[in-house]
Structure 1
Amino acid sequence: MDHLNDPDIDGDVYVSPRYLAGTTGIGDPALAPLLGLGWDLRHDDLGNVYTNSPNRRVRLGYLPEGEDDGLWRINAYRDPFGPPAWGVCFNKATPTEFVTAFTTALATAYEARDAYLARPFPGIAERDPIRIVDPLLQQGWTLDRPYLGVYLVDAPDRHAGLEYTGGNLDPEGELTTRDARWQLWAGRSIDKPAWYATASTYTPVALLAAVTRCVADPAPLPRWREDTFSYVAGMAQLTPVRAPLPPAPSPLDVRRAAARRPAALPPASVPRWSTSTRPALPRPRR
């Protein structure tokens, strides 16, 4: 994994599977893809953050002081003065990397004219809802139908799932409650999730598929062990982050080192390299 060689890993443990990680508590990475396109940024007196697209048809709120646990709320509009065409919510414990995957895909779709308003459409490759679940199925998640009109894709350990609800849904309820077309969650059950995300009926497939690809990635996520909100305690596997070992000297390196020693000195023994010898861990950064 590439991040094993990253000297700036922000954490002292890796959390696996990654969907059992929690938020990093930092919103900047998820805001960056949109701010990079020139979206404006505003704050209120409570510390909430708002950003709008230049055409005023996509709005994002980062709401640590909101009325509920919906930390991230993103809505898109066909008419700036009309109701939302779609809405997505990530609650306060959702891993930041999953939100960043969404906003990165949103930035790409925004630059591609009206792709951020492309409705799901079965049978059209780029807009077929099956693309949303494919990354999970490819990693061993299983498809179930627990209730009539409801489809559930379960993680192998049953500690995460993606639920799709068919039939007619209340458009306003999709935007303000968990009764949305799509719900992604992790924890002990969908009723008591450690974190969850919801998406309404017409959320573009490309945006949601970006999230499920990130969720399905087998690579663990770095977190701080002492910040227990950053992983699901008792369920997640924590592995200490350790710096990589220096490369062992080659036979040529040994011969060159021996050739540089003064002739009057007795030859030194070749140093032994142990896989248990590692550099000291850096102190946690804050």
Structure 2
Amino acid sequence: MSPDLLKNLTSDQNVKVLPRHLAGPGPVDPRRVWGFPTDQSWPFHREAQGGPAAAMSPCLRLWTTFEPQPEAPGPGTWTIGAKRAPSGPEAWRITFDATTPVELLNDVHTELLDLYLEDRDSGKDVLFEDATAPYEAYKALLARGWSHSVEINGTQTFRSPDGLGAVQHRYANMGTHKPTWTAWAGSPGDRLWSASFSIGTPASLAAALTASLVSTEPVQRTVKDVPLPSRQQLYLATATQPTAPSSAVPPPAGAARGRTR
């Protein structure tokens, strides 16, 4: 078993760690996680600091929300939804546990904004007819040494080298109620976070998640914010002196941003 590289550091000390899937959620700030141009007709609403938040695209077909639940067994949910028409039924949905690392959330929302802009400017309806092949979402995992197994139930699963991260793709349509993509981290029965992409979700958004998962750009956390169950599996990139508290999200790795096709 690997030693806990953080045990001799103070709780408020800043560290940069990898892999991302075990780093903990980090500082939660919806404005920074989403990164939408709220000064350009993207409505943003939050009643109170630390409370629920929501944002919506100018076309009213995309929305994203953060619902904290500090008193519940789970700490809350991040949700992305889309409709073909503002008054129509939901076409697809993505949900993340509130404990999902903020860098993963930011990279998926960055890709979402890129999709929206491409959809708006090209008229190709890429928000609902995405031409990205599913392979684009898992080739980054294979390139970083994640294992691959295929089940006869129509799913394939990719697991991180440490065995504590996983991405599952349902390649056979077994019913619209089952997600096409799921991802999680942690040991069986004690997940640190999980994410679910419904059928119809653009594969480019799943590709944004997987590219962020395997990014080699360390993420910054304070020692007290790193989950205890994952500390012996972390690689410590640097340790720095404590700084004033901040809600800013560290910038994600350049390789994980932008269009994935």
Q: Distance in 2 between matches of 1:116 and 1:95?
A: 27
Q: Which consecutive unaligned segments of at least 5 residues does structure 2 have?
A: 1-11, 246-261
SS in 2 for 1:210: helix
Q: Distance in 1 between matches of 2:144 and 2:152?
A: 24
Which one of 203, 206, 210 corresponds to residue 204 of structure 2? 206
Partner of 1:226: 224
SS in 1 for 2:243: coil
Which one of 100, 104, 108 corresponds to residue 98 of structure 1? 104
Alignment of 1:194-273 (within 5 A): 194-229=192-227, 232-242=230-240
Q: Distance in 2 between matches of 1:166 and 1:39?
A: 34
Partner of 2:21: 19
1:43 equivalent to 2:46? Answer yes
Which one of 240, 243, 250 corresponds to residue 284 of structure 1? 243
Partner of 1:159: 164
Partner of 1:136: 141
Partner of 2:35: 32
- Matched letter for residue 14 of structure 2: D
Q: Which consecutive unaligned segments of at least 5 residues does structure 1 have?
A: 1-9, 121-125, 174-178, 243-280
Contact persistence 1:105–1:207 (CA under 8 A): yes
Q: Distance in 2 between matches of 1:230 and 1:101?
A: 25
Q: Distance in 1 between matches of 2:211 and 2:45?
A: 30
What percent of counterpart residues are identical? 26
Partner of 1:185: 184
Contact persistence 1:30–1:103 (CA under 8 A): yes
Q: Distance in 2 between matches of 1:13 and 1:132?
A: 29
Identify which of structures 1 and 2 has the higher relative contact order when contacts are C-alpha pairs closer than 8 Å and 6+ apart.
2
Q: Paired residues, what number?
A: 226
Bigger Rg, structure 1 or 2: 1
Q: Distance in 2 between matches of 1:116 and 1:194?
A: 32
Q: Distance in 2 between matches of 1:144 and 1:37?
A: 45
Partner of 1:62: 66
Higher normalized strand content (fraction of residues): 2
Contact persistence 2:184–2:191 (CA under 8 A): yes
Shift of residue 140, structure 1, vs aligned partner: 1.0
Q: CA RMSD in A?
A: 2.6
Contact persistence 1:22–1:231 (CA under 8 A): no
